Structures are given as C-alpha cells and as structure tokens.
C-alpha cells in the first residue's frame, strides 16, 4: 500500500469515528475528562492500522462558554521525528448543535 492509500484509509477511519462520536449524547461527553485525560470511549482502531504504525488519539476540551471540542488525531511516524498528522472532529454547543472544527481548532490539536 502506498503512502497516499494509507492516508486515505486513515482519513476514512477518522470519518467513521467522528460519526460514532457525533451520535453520543452530550450528557455522556460532558462526563469525560479533558485532554490529556483519556475519555472512556473505544476508538476501535482496526488492527491493520496499528500495524502500519498509526496512532489515534481522542481529545476533549471544554471551553468556558460551554462549548466542547472533540477531536481525533491521527499520527504516523516516518523518519527522524517527522511524520504525517491529521485531525478531525466537531464542536458541541451548549444547545446540542454540532459544527465542524475550524482551521484554528485543527491547528490546536495537531
């Protein structure tokens, strides 16, 4: 599998995981610890992804205005500390609405 195919597979996994997370009730997500705590949610990473040295990390951050940022970061180490990183997720508003991560949110979690 070439590098691009690996990235597409990782991005596909992130989308499926994002959809699973978005289906959870806000009340459940609120009980999770903020990053660097580890939320009690299984990412169910496929065995073939872990064999390819992808690391997936679930992050939660609660803001003072009540918004909650949920992000899943994907990282693949390549060589001499360099690697490929991507993240996807969403923002939960206090009223339960979901919105996509902004470019700044993605920078914050990668």
Question: 79 is in which domain, residue-wise?
Answer: 3-109
Query: Structurally, how many domains does the chain consist of?
Result: 1
Strand-pair category, 54-62 with 82-92: unpaired
* Predicted pLDDT of residue 97: 92
Give tens-digit pLDDT for 54-89.
Answer: 889 999 999 999 999 999 999 887 777 778 788 999
d(CA 103, CA 105): 5
Instruction: Tell me the whole-structure pTM to 2 decimals.
Output: 0.86
Q: Is the pLDDT of residue 52 over 90?
A: no
21-52 core/surface letters (b: 16 or more CB in 10 A; e: else)? beeeeeeebeebeebeeebebebeeeeebeee
Band of pLDDT at residue 1, cut at 50, 70 and 90: low
């Amino acid at each position: 599998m070439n590098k691009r195919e690996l990235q597409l597979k990782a991005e596909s996994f992130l989308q499926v995981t994002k959809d699973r997370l978005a289906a959870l009730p806000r009340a459940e997500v609120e009980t999770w610890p903020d990053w660097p705590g580890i939320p009690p949610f299984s990412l169910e990473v496929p065995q073939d992804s872990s064999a390819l040295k992808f690391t997936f990390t679930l992050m939660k951050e609660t803001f003072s205005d009540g918004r909650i940022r949920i992000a899943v970061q994907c990282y693949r180490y390549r060589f001499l500390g360099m690697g490929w990183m991507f993240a996807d997720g969403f923002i939960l508003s206090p009223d339960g609405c979901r919105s996509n991560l902004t470019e700044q949110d993605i920078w914050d979690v990668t």
